[in-house]
Structure 1
């Protein structure tokens, strides 16, 4: 199994799992949503903390994870990953009236047609 096949499989499983968690949280009854959230939220929070901890700024204010190559290519903090995480969390906590839908494939916020 090549790395690309393995990556694709792992990515698809993660996407399916996150879609299921999101669907149960949005559409499930109170008992199943509460049960799912108690199981899943600690792991999701730990994953976000791990990502954020990798993208801390160095002594020059550049992202430690995103920096590579010569100094003129270094990414100032906050890097794109931190901004994407922040936007995704804000979109997920938006009220029904101003709900937006974040798409990681498009890297932007757009108005949700579900309301």
Structure 2
């Protein structure tokens, strides 16, 4: 039960932080947005790089992170998680306000 509480708290804090970053980007003045961007963009890029590195195909073309169980249940690369991240990044062509409200589909674990 302790791991579930910890996971829930970490997830809640991350979601709140991302909401704050999105809100500052969408509604903040230029100085606030620039200051936030200089701090947050390198952190977000580093986090995405870790994610992309984890979701690489193995020698059989299956996602290393998402593969589990029998061969017939393995997920071929690119997996749904990597596709969702790519789609979210492509949403950058939308306005800042639209990006702040965009939500990807939930990944089933």
What's the TM-score bracket when you normalise by the shorter of the two chains? 0.7 to 0.9
Equivalent pair of 1:87/1:102 in contact (CA under 8 Å): no
- The structure carrying a bigger helix percent of its residues is 2
Unaligned runs of 5+ in 2: none
**Any idea what SS the aligned residue of 1:103 has?**
coil
Q: Which residue of 1 aligns with 2:72?
A: 72
Q: Which has the higher contact order (CA 8 A, sep 6+)?
A: 2
Normalization by structure 1: what TM-score?
A: 0.82
Segments ≥4 residues shifted beyond 4 Å: none
How do 1:25-64 and structure 2 match up within 5 A? 25-64=25-64
Which deviations, in whole Å up to 9, do the C-alpha atoms of 1:4-36 show, x marking residues without a partner?
A: 111111111100000000110111111110000
Aligned equivalents of 2:3, 2:57: Cα separation in 1: 30
**CA shift for structure 1 position 102:** 3.0
Residue 89 of structure 1: how far off its partner (Å): 1.0
Q: TM-score, normalised by structure 2?
A: 0.86
The structure with the largest strand share of the pair is: 1
Q: CA separation in 2, counterparts of 1:23 and 1:102?
A: 12
Aligned length: 103
Structure 1 residue 94: Cα displacement: 2.0
